[in-house]
Amino acid sequence: MRLLRFRHGDRIATGVTDTGDDTVRVLAGTFFEDPLPTGEELPLDELHLLAPVLPSKLVCVGKNYAAHAAEFGMTVPDEPLLFLKPSTAVIGPSDPITLLPISRRVDYEGELAVVIGRLAKHVRAEDAYRVILGYTCA
């Protein structure tokens, strides 16, 4: 199952689709509030896909695998190296990436993003799956 945020005409909504399916089942509400199916289905090719979530911030982990750390002449740190990105860094799959004129060096890499679905604090490793809403490419 794939969770989607999309624009259809003037409306922004959420929905679900399955791999290989060409329709989206529209949901009432957001993914974070136990959405209910509306019974409405829309053709996927009529929708403009938006960023899957609108986070307040992005918490990122740097140098979290050996090859990437080696690019910087470093090893993987003993403790996670955390940094933040603004919520505006999240865009839809077909939205353009805007580079400011001041940009001199732009780096890119494929990342896996974990979407946390509810407030979580001091979660034990074995319970982490309980707060994960899903995954997306970043």
Residue 127 has what pLDDT? 96
Who has greater pLDDT, 45 or 68?
Answer: 45
Q: Work out the average pLDDT over 102-116.
A: 83
Domain count, the chain: 2
Q: What is the pLDDT of residues 15-65, one digit of tens each?
A: 999 988 999 999 998 888 878 999 999 999 999 999 988 888 889 888 777
State the pTM of this model: 0.75
- CA separation for the pair 44, 102 (Å, rounded): 37
Who has greater pLDDT, 108 or 82?
Answer: 82
Residue 92 placed within a domain: no
Q: Tell me which residue range forms the domain holding 13.
A: 2-49
Residue type, 133: L
Q: Work out the average pLDDT over 74-97.
A: 87
Query: Are 7 and 45 in the same domain?
Result: yes
For the chain, where are the E strands, in sequence order?
2-8, 11-17, 23-28, 36-43, 48-49, 58-62, 81-85, 112-116, 132-137
Query: Are 21 and 42 in the same domain?
Result: yes
- Residue 31 maps to which CATH number? 2.30.30.370
Residue 97 placed within a domain: no
Query: Are 45 and 72 in the same domain?
Result: no
Query: Are 6 and 41 in the same domain?
Result: yes
Closest by CA position to 109, among listed 80, 55, 72, 73: 72
Query: Are 76 and 60 in the same domain?
Result: yes
